[in-house]
Amino acid sequence: QHYLRYINEGYTEEQAFYLAEIKTTQQILADYGVQGIYMPTMLINSLLSMIVLPHEKAKSNNPDRVFSGKYSVFEKQMGITPTIFSPIKSCENGKVCYNNRVTSIFINKLRNGIAHQNISVSIVDDYDFEITIKNKYQNRNCNKCKNNTCKEKGLRKENGGVIDFEIKVNVSKLKRLADYIANAYIKAIEQEH
């Protein structure tokens, strides 16, 4: 770990912790390579470290600053398109309010899907898999809702909630997402320094 190195460079202890964790995670992923037998496991573990751990801190500061830019540009650069991305912000008595489709909301929905274990996996071989990550918007009235607003948007109900985000990625796409997320956090911490 490089905690003290970053502290000696003038970063706060919190910044040093996140920088060291993210950069060490990047190095682990680089050392094992996309085709390594440990890559699928390393990617899942790394995403927990790179998305869930720093996300709450970034969210409290300003997630739009960390994951800035237009979603359409992000989608094109990453070559990754979710099968569902109609991010629900709120729902009152069947009246749905949607978030804008921006990069920070994409990352938030991805983070929620991972953190809440809304994940399913299809094994290709020892080195590859396809993982589906979903976010389920829930409030206490979803089960009772008779409004077709969500259905008209192409969303489906599942276990008392509405799937408003779903993405299917293989190992190489998951690695691209992990790299993007890590670099965005590092850039934000370094700019804050």
The residue assigned the tokens 């997402």 is 177
**169, 43 in Cβ contact below 8 A?**
no
The pair of structure tokens assigned to 174 is 């998951």
What's the pLDDT score for residue 114? Answer: 85
For residue 35, the model assigns a pLDDT of 61
- Give the gyration radius of the chain's Cα atoms: 18
* Helix, coil or strand: residue 193: coil
* DSSP-based three-state secondary structure for 158: strand
Instruction: Give me the pLDDT at residue 33, please.
Output: 64
Please give the average pLDDT of every successive group of 10 residues along the chain, which has 193 residues: 84 87 82 68 72 63 72 90 94 86 91 87 79 89 77 83 93 84 84 79
Contact indicator for 48, 179 with CB cutoff of 8 Å: no
Q: Measured between alpha carbons, how far is residue 118 from residues 27, 61, 110 in Å?
A: 27, 26, 10
What does pTM read for this prediction?
A: 0.82
